[in-house]
Structure 1
Amino acid sequence: MTKKLMYGTHAIGEAAIQAGCTCYFGYPITPQNELPEYMSQRLAEVPNGVFIQAESELAAINMVLGASVAGARAMTSSSSPGISLKQEGISFLAGSELPAVIVNIMRGGPGLGN
C-alpha cells in the first residue's frame, strides 16, 4: 500500500467510493464544497455512479432516502445549518433503519463563525 497525501474532504469521498457508495446528493454550502466537487468527478468514473446537485438541503436528504430505499449506497454532506435542515429526512432514515452516510463538515470559529 502506498501513502498518499489528500485533503480531508477528498479522503472522505474516496473512502465512501471504496466502500461501495454509488450515489451522492448534496447542496453547496461552505466549507464542504470540496467534497461534492470531488464526488462529481469520481462518481463519473464509477459504474452506475450518480451525482446530483440538489435544489435544497431538504431535497438532497430525500434523494438519499429514495436511493437507500432502492438499495443503493448513498451519501450527502453539509455544514451545520444544512444538517439542521435535513433533520426530518434523517429521522425518516433512522426510523426506517435505512443506511446512509451523512457528513457534517464544521465551520471554524465560535457559534456562527467569524
Structure 2
Amino acid sequence: MGLVVISPEKILIDKSLRLGFSAINNETRYEALLVGMDMVQKMGGTTVEVFSDSRLVFGQVNRELEARNLRMQEYLNQARHLQSQFKSFTLQQILRSRNTHAESLTMLATSSA
C-alpha cells in the first residue's frame, strides 16, 4: 500500500508498505488511512485532511454508507477512534487518476521482494 503525508510546510513523506496479510482493495485503503492518521498523530499533528480514492472508505467514515462486513466495521471503529483524537479531521474522495503518487507507491510495495 502507498500513502503520502504532506506537512503544513509542504514536506512530503512517502510510505510504501507491504501488509503482512492478504487483503482486499478496501482493506488496503483503510490500512493506508490508519497508518497515515497514526503518523500524523505521532508527529503531533492536530488537523488532518485526507484524500482517498475509495468510495467505500469515504462513505463509511463520513457516515454515508453502513459498514456491514465485520472486517470493515473493525476498520471503521479504528478510524473513528483515531479521528476523535484530532481537533479537525476531513476526508475527501478523489478520482483514482488524481491519486497517482500513492498508487505508484502501492505498486512499488507489491512488486518488491
Q: What TM-score range do you get, normalising by the shorter chain?
A: under 0.3
Higher relative contact order (CA 8 A, sep 6+): 2
Answer 1 or 2: which has greater helix percent. Answer: 2
TM-score by length of 1: 0.28
Answer 1 or 2: which has greater strand percent. Answer: 2
